[in-house]
Amino acid sequence: MNATPGSRDGAALIIGAGDATGGAIAKRFAREGLIACVTRRTADKLTPLVQEITQAGGRAHGFASDARKEEEVVKLVDDIERDIAPIEVMVFNIGANVPCSILDETARKYFKIWEMACFSGFLVGREVARRMVTRGRGTIIYTGATAGLRGSANFAAFAGAKHALRALAQSMARELGPKNIHVAHVVVDGAIDTDFIRETFPERYALKDQDGILNPDHIADNYWHLHTQPRDAWTHELDLRPWIERW
């Protein structure tokens, strides 16, 4: 088994700990005893999450960090490893889903989406892998999307970035698996229970009562399961979608 459930000896680094999926993942790992180290570009937005985890009896630290900046990623991992605990699991949860016609897409925005959804995944993955390999254990989980499997109209930038992230996860899994590092890629296919979906797509959000949108807590349960899988039955790619979703 990759980790001991309930162990209080390690950290779970959640890159992109937003108010929905990322936050739910952080709370799930903290509930199991790991120290939740959560990041966003603005530290103030992490305060409610850190407080919720600590009030529930867990441990958490918030970090302002831009995962696109190599020097910030190196410092983040160094600081956690030195001052808090060994990173036992890293979850990369940055999205950057910004639809746009290819006729109107700009080079600047296309590059920025790639930086956020792919390049930053490489930076964080490389840094934590370097530490995990020396210990001979660890889990790296990338949050993907349907766009990583097929590109839709008006999503050229996002699809390109998510395809690249999926390829990164595959390459890392093949290289690091023999070193006892479990690398997984999760395809999240469907609307998630967030304020954005509720406010922007109310008809879709109305399907919540029919289990028609993804519950962040249930996504988090699957991430914990990936982390605790025995290595003779590791999952590399996991699809998560509501029963109502076409695929």
For 81-128, what is each residue's pLDDT tens digit? 999 999 999 999 998 888 999 999 999 999 999 999 999 999 999 999
Residue 78 lies in a domain: yes
Query: Is 246 among the domain residues?
Result: no
Looking at the predicted structure, is the pLDDT value of residue 2 above 50? no
Q: Alpha carbon of 55 to those of 9, 11, 19, 52, 60: distances in Å?
A: 20, 18, 17, 5, 10
Residue 233 lies inside a defined structural domain of this protein:
yes
Predicted local distance difference test score (pLDDT) of residue 5: 41
Mean pLDDT of the chain: 94
Q: Which of 18-22, 180-184, 228-232 has the lowest mean pLDDT?
A: 18-22
CATH code of the domain in which 113 resides: 3.40.50.720
What value does the mean pLDDT take over residues 145-168? 94
Whether 211 is in a domain gets the answer: no
Give the chain's end-to-end CA distance (angstroms, integer).
Answer: 32
Domain region containing 62: 11-190+217-240
Domain assignment of residue 202, yes or no:
no
Rounded mean pLDDT of 213-237?
Answer: 97
Residue 247 covered by a domain: no
For residue 49, is it within any domain? yes
Residue 177 covered by a domain: yes
* Beta-bridge partner residues of 231: none
Per-residue pLDDT, 231: 96
The whole model's pTM is what?
A: 0.94
User: What is the sign, positive or negative, of the torsion defined by CA atoms of 236, 2, 81, 43?
Assistant: positive
- Output the pLDDT for position 8: 55
Tally the domains of the chain: 1
Burial class from Cβ neighbours inside 10 Å (0-12, 13-18, 19+) for residue 130 reads: exposed
Q: How confident is the model at residue 200 (pLDDT cuts 50, 70, 90)?
A: confident
Task: Provide mean pLDDT across the span 117-140.
Answer: 98
Q: Lowest mean pLDDT of 15-19, 33-37, 68-72, name the range.
A: 15-19
CB 139 within 8 A of CB 182: yes
3-state secondary structure of 98: coil
